[in-house]
Amino acid sequence: MSLLFTRRSKKTGKDEGIVLPEHIGIIMDGNGRWAKKRGLPRSAGHTAGAQNFRTITRYCSDIGIRYLTVYAFSTENWKRPQEEVSALMKLFKQYLEEALSDFKDDSIVVRFIGDTSAFSPDLQELIERTQRESADRTGMVLNIAMNYGSRDELVMAVKSIASKVHNGELSVDDIDADMISSNLYTAGQPDPDLIIRPSGEYRISNFMLWQAAYTEFIILDKLWPDFTTDDLDSALLEFSKRNRRFGGV
């Protein structure tokens, strides 16, 4: 955490200096409940959530966040009704097509974490194209977790390391925490300093279990489509006041 963000306090009218987290994770939760409260189909909630995702992503980039990881679709989300899953796949495709131009001027690097092989060939092609065309940008790294589950990620990492040991590339003594981190989807990135979960649910939901060992958590009783940049500012202010000891005194 090295960057300082200044905002004007609505309570005092004075400028507040906020030390920014280097990496933020957001569990984008509550789209379905948002729609239900309004008598709308769940797909309408996902559409509203996708629109808010663009707003929050750009804001994070503008204020200087270096890494943002958003939980878009988990390995467990396939269990939802087929109609809802199909609507989500259509929305993902629409988003990726728009993202190819939307984030072009924002210098945002777009990466996908999760097992994307489960998606349709055209969606996989869009994922690869989005990553390829944004790879040389120099701004914030945006990780979109799609068909992501942290337990699956850890199993993948263990299998990769075991294969290297089996092939004689590594010895058992080479395996340590850094080795495991280097075999995760987020290899080469710092662990999240802060994870935010709108919707009021007190669960981590299989999100970045290894990476979140010393992450600060903020739970907001507000559904994701209603989450605003002011809410993010408040979360960042709260985060900046926390004393992170990492197991020390």
Confirm whether pTM is higher than 0.95: no
Q: Which of 29, 191, 193, 233 is catalytic?
A: 29
Residue 195 neighbours by CB under 8 Å, 6+ apart: 24, 25, 26, 27, 204, 207, 208, 212, 215, 216, 217, 218
The C-alpha angle with vertex 116 and arms to 115 and 121, in degrees rounded to 5, equals 150
Q: DSSP characters for 97-166?
A: HHHHHHTGGGT-EEEEES-GGGS-HHHHHHHHHHHHHHTT--S-EEEEEEEE-HHHHHHHHHHHHHHHHH
> Percent of the chain, pLDDT > 70?
90
Q: Yes or no: say if 23 and 66 are a contact pair by the CB < 8 Å rule.
A: yes
Closest CA to 75 of 147, 124, 157, 144: 147
Asked if pLDDT for residue 212 goes beyond 80, the answer is yes
206 classed as catalytic: no
Q: Yes or no: say if 18 and 5 are a contact pair by the CB < 8 Å rule.
A: yes
| pLDDT tens digits along 125-161 | 999 999 999 999 999 999 999 999 999 999 999 999 9
Distance CA 165, CA 242 (A): 41
Q: Which of 15, 77, 115, 147 is catalytic?
A: 77
pLDDT band at 107 (very low <50, low <70, confident <90, very high): confident
Domain coordinates in residue numbering, the chain: 4-151+191-241
Please give the CATH topology (third level) of the domain spanning 4-151+191-241.
Answer: Undecaprenyl pyrophosphate synthetase (3.40.1180)
Q: H or E element: which one contains 180?
A: helix 177-181
29 classed as catalytic: yes
Q: What is the pLDDT of residue 28?
A: 95
Token code pair at residue 31: 């789209």
**What residues are paired with 219 via a beta bridge?**
197
Distance CA 57, CA 50 (A): 11
| pLDDT tens digits along 163-185 | 999 999 999 999 999 999 999 99
Q: Yes or no: say if 66 and 140 are a contact pair by the CB < 8 Å rule.
A: yes
